Structure 1
Amino acid sequence: MALTLYLHPLSSYCHKALIALYENGTPFTPQLVELHKPESREAFFKIWPVGKFPVLTDGERVIPESTPIIDYLALHHPGPATLIPHEPEAALAVRALDRFYDLNVHTHMQKIIGDRIRPEGRKDPHGVEHARKAMHTALAIAENDMGGREWAAGGGFSLADCAAAPALFYINEAIDPLAGRYPALTAYLGRLMKRPSYARALAEAQPYLHMLPR
Protein backbone atom coordinates (compact mmCIF):
# COMPACT_ATOMS: atom_id res chain seq x y z
CA MET A 1 0.00 0.00 0.00
CA ALA A 2 1.10 3.60 -0.60
CA LEU A 3 1.83 5.62 2.53
CA THR A 4 0.56 9.19 2.88
CA LEU A 5 1.58 11.48 5.74
CA TYR A 6 -0.76 14.35 6.52
CA LEU A 7 1.38 17.07 8.00
CA HIS A 8 2.46 20.66 8.25
CA PRO A 9 6.24 21.30 7.95
CA LEU A 10 6.20 23.63 10.98
CA SER A 11 4.59 21.09 13.30
CA SER A 12 6.95 19.69 15.90
CA TYR A 13 5.18 16.33 16.10
CA CYS A 14 5.29 16.09 12.31
CA HIS A 15 9.06 16.54 12.58
CA LYS A 16 9.14 13.51 14.85
CA ALA A 17 7.37 11.31 12.31
CA LEU A 18 9.40 12.70 9.41
CA ILE A 19 12.67 11.85 11.15
CA ALA A 20 11.60 8.21 11.39
CA LEU A 21 10.55 8.09 7.74
CA TYR A 22 13.76 9.73 6.55
CA GLU A 23 15.96 7.55 8.75
CA ASN A 24 14.79 4.52 6.81
CA GLY A 25 14.24 6.13 3.43
CA THR A 26 10.63 4.95 3.59
CA PRO A 27 8.69 6.01 0.47
CA PHE A 28 5.63 8.13 1.27
CA THR A 29 3.56 10.97 -0.11
CA PRO A 30 3.48 14.13 2.01
CA GLN A 31 0.07 15.80 2.12
CA LEU A 32 0.20 19.40 3.33
CA VAL A 33 -2.59 20.30 5.76
CA GLU A 34 -3.42 24.00 6.05
CA LEU A 35 -6.05 24.31 8.74
CA HIS A 36 -6.73 27.97 7.94
CA LYS A 37 -7.97 26.97 4.47
CA PRO A 38 -11.51 25.54 4.64
CA GLU A 39 -11.02 23.01 1.82
CA SER A 40 -7.79 21.66 3.32
CA ARG A 41 -9.28 21.56 6.82
CA GLU A 42 -12.44 19.79 5.64
CA ALA A 43 -10.50 17.17 3.70
CA PHE A 44 -8.24 16.45 6.66
CA PHE A 45 -11.08 16.21 9.17
CA LYS A 46 -12.69 13.57 6.97
CA ILE A 47 -9.52 11.51 7.41
CA TRP A 48 -9.12 12.20 11.15
CA PRO A 49 -11.97 14.10 12.87
CA VAL A 50 -9.80 14.89 15.90
CA GLY A 51 -7.94 17.29 13.60
CA LYS A 52 -4.41 16.79 14.96
CA PHE A 53 -1.45 15.91 12.81
CA PRO A 54 0.60 13.97 11.87
CA VAL A 55 -1.66 11.25 10.53
CA LEU A 56 -0.37 8.38 8.42
CA THR A 57 -2.59 6.46 6.03
CA ASP A 58 -1.67 3.11 4.57
CA GLY A 59 -4.41 2.25 2.11
CA GLU A 60 -7.62 2.31 4.16
CA ARG A 61 -5.78 2.21 7.47
CA VAL A 62 -5.45 5.46 9.44
CA ILE A 63 -2.70 5.84 12.05
CA PRO A 64 -2.75 9.09 14.09
CA GLU A 65 -0.09 10.45 16.45
CA SER A 66 3.67 10.37 16.03
CA THR A 67 4.65 7.48 18.34
CA PRO A 68 2.02 5.05 16.96
CA ILE A 69 3.10 6.07 13.46
CA ILE A 70 6.71 5.15 14.24
CA ASP A 71 5.55 1.89 15.86
CA TYR A 72 3.46 1.11 12.78
CA LEU A 73 6.35 1.81 10.42
CA ALA A 74 8.64 -0.46 12.45
CA LEU A 75 6.08 -3.26 12.30
CA HIS A 76 4.78 -2.97 8.74
CA HIS A 77 7.44 -1.00 6.82
CA PRO A 78 10.76 -1.79 8.52
CA GLY A 79 13.99 -0.43 7.16
CA PRO A 80 17.70 -0.55 7.96
CA ALA A 81 17.41 1.79 10.96
CA THR A 82 16.05 0.09 14.08
CA LEU A 83 14.46 2.96 16.00
CA ILE A 84 12.86 0.65 18.57
CA PRO A 85 15.33 -1.98 19.81
CA HIS A 86 14.38 -5.63 19.61
CA GLU A 87 15.86 -6.40 23.04
CA PRO A 88 13.06 -5.83 25.60
CA GLU A 89 15.01 -3.88 28.22
CA ALA A 90 16.56 -1.60 25.61
CA ALA A 91 13.14 -1.09 24.02
CA LEU A 92 11.69 -0.20 27.44
CA ALA A 93 14.39 2.43 27.98
CA VAL A 94 13.74 3.96 24.55
CA ARG A 95 9.98 4.03 25.04
CA ALA A 96 10.34 5.57 28.51
CA LEU A 97 12.44 8.39 27.08
CA ASP A 98 9.97 8.87 24.24
CA ARG A 99 7.24 9.42 26.82
CA PHE A 100 9.53 11.60 28.93
CA TYR A 101 10.29 13.99 26.09
CA ASP A 102 6.73 14.10 24.76
CA LEU A 103 4.98 14.56 28.11
CA ASN A 104 7.52 16.55 30.12
CA VAL A 105 9.28 18.65 27.49
CA HIS A 106 7.27 18.75 24.26
CA THR A 107 3.87 19.38 25.87
CA HIS A 108 5.17 22.31 27.93
CA MET A 109 7.00 23.77 24.92
CA GLN A 110 3.76 23.75 22.95
CA LYS A 111 1.85 25.34 25.84
CA ILE A 112 4.29 28.25 26.04
CA ILE A 113 4.44 28.91 22.30
CA GLY A 114 0.74 28.24 21.76
CA ASP A 115 -0.26 30.81 24.36
CA ARG A 116 1.35 33.50 22.21
CA ILE A 117 -1.31 33.17 19.53
CA ARG A 118 -4.21 33.43 21.94
CA PRO A 119 -6.20 36.68 21.65
CA GLU A 120 -5.80 39.32 24.33
CA GLY A 121 -7.91 38.57 27.36
CA ARG A 122 -7.73 34.82 26.77
CA LYS A 123 -4.07 34.22 27.50
CA ASP A 124 -3.03 31.96 30.36
CA PRO A 125 -0.03 33.48 32.18
CA HIS A 126 -0.40 31.14 35.16
CA GLY A 127 -0.44 28.10 32.89
CA VAL A 128 2.57 29.39 30.96
CA GLU A 129 4.53 29.98 34.15
CA HIS A 130 3.74 26.45 35.33
CA ALA A 131 4.71 25.01 31.94
CA ARG A 132 8.01 26.89 31.91
CA LYS A 133 8.97 25.65 35.38
CA ALA A 134 7.98 22.07 34.58
CA MET A 135 9.84 22.22 31.26
CA HIS A 136 13.05 23.40 32.92
CA THR A 137 12.73 20.70 35.58
CA ALA A 138 12.59 18.12 32.79
CA LEU A 139 15.44 19.77 30.89
CA ALA A 140 17.62 19.57 34.00
CA ILE A 141 16.91 15.83 34.22
CA ALA A 142 17.72 15.40 30.52
CA GLU A 143 20.91 17.46 30.90
CA ASN A 144 22.10 15.14 33.66
CA ASP A 145 21.20 12.03 31.66
CA MET A 146 22.91 13.22 28.47
CA GLY A 147 26.33 13.56 30.09
CA GLY A 148 28.63 11.21 28.17
CA ARG A 149 25.91 10.02 25.81
CA GLU A 150 25.77 10.57 22.08
CA TRP A 151 22.06 9.75 21.74
CA ALA A 152 19.22 9.92 24.24
CA ALA A 153 18.98 6.26 25.25
CA GLY A 154 22.72 5.74 25.40
CA GLY A 155 22.83 3.39 22.41
CA GLY A 156 22.12 4.09 18.77
CA PHE A 157 19.79 6.68 17.32
CA SER A 158 16.23 5.74 18.31
CA LEU A 159 12.62 6.70 18.79
CA ALA A 160 13.76 8.68 21.84
CA ASP A 161 15.86 10.96 19.63
CA CYS A 162 12.95 11.41 17.22
CA ALA A 163 10.99 12.71 20.22
CA ALA A 164 13.75 14.88 21.65
CA ALA A 165 14.79 16.66 18.44
CA PRO A 166 11.76 18.87 17.70
CA ALA A 167 11.10 19.65 21.36
CA LEU A 168 14.66 20.84 21.95
CA PHE A 169 14.82 22.66 18.62
CA TYR A 170 11.73 24.78 19.29
CA ILE A 171 12.70 25.50 22.89
CA ASN A 172 16.09 26.72 21.72
CA GLU A 173 14.60 28.61 18.78
CA ALA A 174 11.66 30.36 20.40
CA ILE A 175 11.64 30.04 24.21
CA ASP A 176 14.98 29.83 26.02
CA PRO A 177 18.39 29.25 24.39
CA LEU A 178 19.96 26.06 25.71
CA ALA A 179 23.52 27.34 25.49
CA GLY A 180 25.14 28.20 28.83
CA ARG A 181 22.43 26.62 30.97
CA TYR A 182 22.41 23.14 29.40
CA PRO A 183 25.76 22.40 27.76
CA ALA A 184 25.13 18.68 27.22
CA LEU A 185 21.73 19.35 25.64
CA THR A 186 23.23 22.11 23.52
CA ALA A 187 25.78 19.68 22.10
CA TYR A 188 23.09 17.03 21.70
CA LEU A 189 20.83 19.39 19.77
CA GLY A 190 23.76 20.22 17.53
CA ARG A 191 24.17 16.53 16.71
CA LEU A 192 20.45 16.15 16.11
CA MET A 193 20.36 19.08 13.70
CA LYS A 194 23.28 17.61 11.73
CA ARG A 195 21.61 14.22 11.48
CA PRO A 196 20.55 13.96 7.81
CA SER A 197 17.00 12.92 8.69
CA TYR A 198 16.37 15.95 10.91
CA ALA A 199 18.39 18.31 8.74
CA ARG A 200 16.01 17.41 5.91
CA ALA A 201 12.91 18.05 8.05
CA LEU A 202 14.32 21.39 9.17
CA ALA A 203 15.12 22.39 5.60
CA GLU A 204 11.51 21.68 4.67
CA ALA A 205 10.33 23.76 7.64
CA GLN A 206 12.55 26.72 6.78
CA PRO A 207 10.03 28.52 4.52
CA TYR A 208 7.52 28.44 7.38
CA LEU A 209 9.69 29.36 10.35
CA HIS A 210 8.74 33.03 10.04
CA MET A 211 5.26 31.93 11.20
CA LEU A 212 6.62 30.64 14.52
CA PRO A 213 5.23 32.77 17.39
CA ARG A 214 8.16 34.32 19.23
Structure 2
Amino acid sequence: MKLLIGNRNYSSWSMRPWLVLAHFGIPFEDEVLQLSGDGWRDVLARRSPTGKVPVLIDGDLVVPETIAIIEYLADLHPELRIWPEDISQRAQARAAAAEMHSAFQSIRSHAPMNLRGSHPGRVNVDTIAKDLHRIETLWGGLLTQSGGPFLFGEFTAADAMFAPVASRIRTYALPVSDLAAAYVEAIYSLPAFQEWLAMARKEPWVVDDDEIDVIQGRVAPGTLA
Protein backbone atom coordinates (compact mmCIF):
# COMPACT_ATOMS: atom_id res chain seq x y z
CA MET A 1 0.00 0.00 0.00
CA LYS A 2 1.37 3.41 -1.00
CA LEU A 3 0.18 6.92 -0.21
CA LEU A 4 1.12 9.67 -2.64
CA ILE A 5 1.43 12.92 -0.71
CA GLY A 6 2.43 16.52 -1.26
CA ASN A 7 5.07 18.50 0.62
CA ARG A 8 4.65 17.62 4.29
CA ASN A 9 5.16 21.20 5.41
CA TYR A 10 2.19 22.49 3.44
CA SER A 11 -0.09 19.65 2.31
CA SER A 12 -2.85 19.54 4.88
CA TRP A 13 -4.92 17.08 2.87
CA SER A 14 -1.98 14.68 2.64
CA MET A 15 -1.40 14.83 6.38
CA ARG A 16 -4.89 13.62 7.24
CA PRO A 17 -4.86 10.07 5.83
CA TRP A 18 -1.15 9.74 6.62
CA LEU A 19 -1.93 10.29 10.30
CA VAL A 20 -4.62 7.62 10.17
CA LEU A 21 -2.26 5.12 8.55
CA ALA A 22 0.60 5.89 10.92
CA HIS A 23 -1.37 6.15 14.15
CA PHE A 24 -3.28 2.92 13.61
CA GLY A 25 -0.20 1.02 12.50
CA ILE A 26 -1.37 0.12 9.01
CA PRO A 27 1.67 -0.88 6.91
CA PHE A 28 2.29 1.54 4.05
CA GLU A 29 4.91 3.54 2.24
CA ASP A 30 4.65 7.10 1.05
CA GLU A 31 5.99 9.13 -1.84
CA VAL A 32 6.22 12.91 -1.95
CA LEU A 33 5.06 14.60 -5.14
CA GLN A 34 6.21 18.21 -5.22
CA LEU A 35 3.65 21.03 -5.15
CA SER A 36 6.01 23.50 -6.81
CA GLY A 37 8.88 23.60 -9.28
CA ASP A 38 9.16 22.90 -12.98
CA GLY A 39 6.43 20.63 -14.32
CA TRP A 40 4.94 19.73 -10.95
CA ARG A 41 1.37 19.92 -12.23
CA ASP A 42 2.25 17.56 -15.10
CA VAL A 43 3.69 15.06 -12.64
CA LEU A 44 0.51 15.17 -10.55
CA ALA A 45 -1.63 14.76 -13.65
CA ARG A 46 0.29 11.61 -14.56
CA ARG A 47 0.19 10.09 -11.08
CA SER A 48 -3.20 11.16 -9.75
CA PRO A 49 -6.66 10.73 -11.31
CA THR A 50 -7.64 14.16 -9.99
CA GLY A 51 -4.29 15.88 -10.47
CA LYS A 52 -4.17 16.36 -6.70
CA VAL A 53 -2.85 14.63 -3.60
CA PRO A 54 -3.31 12.52 -1.59
CA VAL A 55 -3.82 9.29 -3.53
CA LEU A 56 -3.86 5.82 -2.00
CA ILE A 57 -2.64 2.93 -4.15
CA ASP A 58 -3.49 -0.56 -2.91
CA GLY A 59 -2.66 -3.14 -5.56
CA ASP A 60 -4.71 -2.25 -8.62
CA LEU A 61 -6.98 0.05 -6.65
CA VAL A 62 -6.35 3.80 -6.85
CA VAL A 63 -8.28 5.96 -4.36
CA PRO A 64 -8.02 9.76 -4.53
CA GLU A 65 -9.57 12.21 -2.03
CA THR A 66 -8.85 12.30 1.68
CA ILE A 67 -12.22 11.21 3.08
CA ALA A 68 -12.56 8.39 0.54
CA ILE A 69 -9.11 7.12 1.55
CA ILE A 70 -10.00 7.23 5.24
CA GLU A 71 -13.29 5.44 4.65
CA TYR A 72 -11.51 2.75 2.66
CA LEU A 73 -9.05 2.23 5.48
CA ALA A 74 -11.89 2.06 8.00
CA ASP A 75 -13.68 -0.57 5.87
CA LEU A 76 -10.46 -2.50 5.43
CA HIS A 77 -9.70 -2.49 9.16
CA PRO A 78 -12.95 -2.39 11.18
CA GLU A 79 -11.05 -3.71 14.19
CA LEU A 80 -9.00 -0.51 14.45
CA ARG A 81 -11.84 1.87 15.35
CA ILE A 82 -10.70 4.54 12.94
CA TRP A 83 -14.15 6.02 13.53
CA PRO A 84 -15.78 5.86 17.01
CA GLU A 85 -17.37 2.51 17.86
CA ASP A 86 -20.64 4.02 19.10
CA ILE A 87 -23.00 4.61 16.16
CA SER A 88 -24.15 8.05 17.34
CA GLN A 89 -20.59 9.21 17.98
CA ARG A 90 -19.56 7.78 14.62
CA ALA A 91 -22.25 9.90 12.96
CA GLN A 92 -21.02 12.98 14.81
CA ALA A 93 -17.43 12.24 13.83
CA ARG A 94 -18.34 11.85 10.18
CA ALA A 95 -20.37 15.06 10.28
CA ALA A 96 -17.41 16.93 11.77
CA ALA A 97 -15.07 15.47 9.13
CA ALA A 98 -17.46 16.41 6.33
CA GLU A 99 -17.74 19.96 7.68
CA MET A 100 -13.96 20.23 7.75
CA HIS A 101 -13.86 19.02 4.16
CA SER A 102 -16.37 21.57 2.90
CA ALA A 103 -16.10 24.62 5.16
CA PHE A 104 -13.58 26.89 6.91
CA GLN A 105 -12.56 28.60 3.67
CA SER A 106 -11.38 31.78 5.40
CA ILE A 107 -8.87 30.09 7.66
CA ARG A 108 -7.59 28.03 4.72
CA SER A 109 -7.08 31.13 2.60
CA HIS A 110 -5.71 33.51 5.22
CA ALA A 111 -3.76 31.05 7.38
CA PRO A 112 -2.29 28.32 5.14
CA MET A 113 -0.68 25.35 6.83
CA ASN A 114 3.03 25.89 7.35
CA LEU A 115 4.51 23.56 9.94
CA ARG A 116 8.01 25.08 9.78
CA GLY A 117 6.71 28.59 10.18
CA SER A 118 6.14 30.72 13.26
CA HIS A 119 4.12 33.78 12.29
CA PRO A 120 2.29 35.19 15.31
CA GLY A 121 0.25 38.26 14.50
CA ARG A 122 0.53 37.83 10.73
CA VAL A 123 -3.14 36.88 10.28
CA ASN A 124 -5.86 39.48 10.69
CA VAL A 125 -8.15 37.69 13.14
CA ASP A 126 -11.18 39.60 11.87
CA THR A 127 -10.86 37.82 8.50
CA ILE A 128 -11.15 34.40 10.12
CA ALA A 129 -13.33 35.24 13.14
CA LYS A 130 -16.36 33.30 11.91
CA ASP A 131 -14.29 30.18 11.25
CA LEU A 132 -12.57 30.43 14.63
CA HIS A 133 -15.91 30.76 16.38
CA ARG A 134 -17.26 27.68 14.64
CA ILE A 135 -14.10 25.70 15.47
CA GLU A 136 -14.43 26.71 19.12
CA THR A 137 -18.10 25.69 19.16
CA LEU A 138 -17.52 22.37 17.42
CA TRP A 139 -14.41 21.35 19.35
CA GLY A 140 -15.83 22.61 22.63
CA GLY A 141 -19.02 20.61 22.33
CA LEU A 142 -17.28 17.38 21.39
CA LEU A 143 -14.48 17.72 23.93
CA THR A 144 -16.92 18.50 26.73
CA GLN A 145 -19.00 15.50 25.73
CA SER A 146 -16.03 13.11 25.50
CA GLY A 147 -13.82 14.48 28.24
CA GLY A 148 -10.90 14.64 25.78
CA PRO A 149 -8.07 14.66 25.12
CA PHE A 150 -9.32 14.07 21.57
CA LEU A 151 -12.72 14.90 20.12
CA PHE A 152 -14.14 11.47 20.92
CA GLY A 153 -11.81 10.57 23.75
CA GLU A 154 -9.36 8.46 21.78
CA PHE A 155 -7.80 9.58 18.50
CA THR A 156 -10.06 8.99 15.48
CA ALA A 157 -10.30 10.07 11.87
CA ALA A 158 -12.14 13.21 13.02
CA ASP A 159 -8.99 14.32 14.81
CA ALA A 160 -6.92 13.58 11.72
CA MET A 161 -9.21 15.87 9.76
CA PHE A 162 -8.72 18.74 12.23
CA ALA A 163 -4.99 18.27 12.87
CA PRO A 164 -4.03 20.84 10.19
CA VAL A 165 -6.31 23.38 11.88
CA ALA A 166 -4.50 22.74 15.15
CA SER A 167 -1.22 23.43 13.35
CA ARG A 168 -2.54 26.73 11.99
CA ILE A 169 -3.49 27.82 15.48
CA ARG A 170 0.07 27.10 16.60
CA THR A 171 1.81 28.63 13.56
CA TYR A 172 -0.08 31.93 13.67
CA ALA A 173 -0.71 32.04 17.46
CA LEU A 174 -4.44 32.40 16.84
CA PRO A 175 -6.50 33.35 19.89
CA VAL A 176 -8.45 30.35 21.19
CA SER A 177 -9.92 29.18 24.47
CA ASP A 178 -8.01 27.10 26.99
CA LEU A 179 -10.07 24.07 25.93
CA ALA A 180 -9.10 24.51 22.27
CA ALA A 181 -5.47 25.18 23.22
CA ALA A 182 -5.38 21.92 25.19
CA TYR A 183 -6.71 20.10 22.14
CA VAL A 184 -3.96 21.62 20.00
CA GLU A 185 -1.45 20.32 22.54
CA ALA A 186 -3.02 16.85 22.35
CA ILE A 187 -2.64 16.83 18.56
CA TYR A 188 0.98 17.95 18.80
CA SER A 189 1.69 15.27 21.41
CA LEU A 190 0.45 12.48 19.15
CA PRO A 191 3.47 10.36 18.08
CA ALA A 192 2.26 10.14 14.48
CA PHE A 193 1.91 13.92 14.30
CA GLN A 194 5.37 14.37 15.76
CA GLU A 195 6.77 12.01 13.14
CA TRP A 196 5.15 13.97 10.30
CA LEU A 197 6.26 17.26 11.86
CA ALA A 198 9.88 16.14 12.13
CA MET A 199 9.94 15.19 8.45
CA ALA A 200 8.21 18.44 7.45
CA ARG A 201 10.83 20.50 9.24
CA LYS A 202 13.60 18.78 7.31
CA GLU A 203 12.12 19.47 3.89
CA PRO A 204 14.14 21.97 1.86
CA TRP A 205 11.36 23.01 -0.50
CA VAL A 206 9.38 26.24 -0.39
CA VAL A 207 5.88 26.64 -1.85
CA ASP A 208 5.35 30.36 -2.28
CA ASP A 209 1.57 30.03 -2.54
CA ASP A 210 1.48 28.79 1.06
CA GLU A 211 3.95 31.25 2.58
CA ILE A 212 2.20 34.07 4.43
CA ASP A 213 4.99 36.58 3.74
CA VAL A 214 4.65 35.99 0.01
CA ILE A 215 0.84 36.01 0.13
CA GLN A 216 0.82 39.32 1.99
CA GLY A 217 3.52 40.86 -0.20
CA ARG A 218 6.29 41.15 2.38
CA VAL A 219 8.74 39.21 0.24
CA ALA A 220 8.87 38.49 -3.47
CA PRO A 221 8.05 35.03 -4.83
CA GLY A 222 11.11 32.85 -5.25
CA THR A 223 13.18 34.61 -2.61
CA LEU A 224 12.51 32.45 0.46
CA ALA A 225 15.21 29.88 1.15
Q: Where on the TM-score scale, by shorter chain, does this alignment land: which range? A: 0.7 to 0.9
Report what 1:190 is aligned to. Answer: 185
What percent of counterpart residues are identical?
A: 22
Aligned partner (choices 126, 132, 137) of residue 128 of structure 2? 132
Count of equivalent residues: 194
Q: Deviations over 1:150-177 (max 9, x none)?
A: 2113x32111111111112123313x43
Name the aligned partner's letter for residue 170 of structure 1.
Answer: R
Q: Which runs of 5+ in 2 are unaligned?
A: 113-123, 213-225
Report what 2:25 is aligned to. Answer: 25
Q: Deviations over 1:74-127 (max 9, x none)?
A: 222x2763111344222101101212333344x43221135xxxxxxxxxxxxx
Take 1:63 and 1:137, find their aligned partners in 2: how far apart are those partners? 33
Take 1:60 and 1:186, find their aligned partners in 2: how far apart are those partners? 42
Aligned partner (choices 157, 173, 177) of residue 174 of structure 2? 177
CA contact (8 A) 1:7 1:32 kept: yes
Take 1:4 and 1:140, find their aligned partners in 2: how far apart are those partners? 31
Aligned partner (choices 190, 198, 203) of residue 203 of structure 1? 198
* Alignment map for 1:77-88 (pairs within 5 Å): 78=77, 81-88=80-87
Take 1:24 and 1:48, find their aligned partners in 2: how far apart are those partners? 25
CA-CA distance at 1:41 after TM superposition: 3.5
Name the aligned partner's letter for residue 144 of structure 1.
Answer: G
Normalising to structure 1: TM-score of the pair? 0.77
Considering only aligned residues, what root-mean-square deviation do their CA atoms show, in Å? 2.7
CA-CA distance at 1:67 after TM superposition: 1.4
Q: Which runs of 5+ in 1 are unaligned?
A: 115-127
Report what 2:3 is aligned to. Answer: 4
| CA shift in 2, pair 1:66/1:130, >3 Å | farther
Take 2:3 and 2:205, find their aligned partners in 1: how far apart are those partners? 26
Normalising to structure 2: TM-score of the pair? 0.74
CA contact (8 A) 1:54 1:65 kept: yes
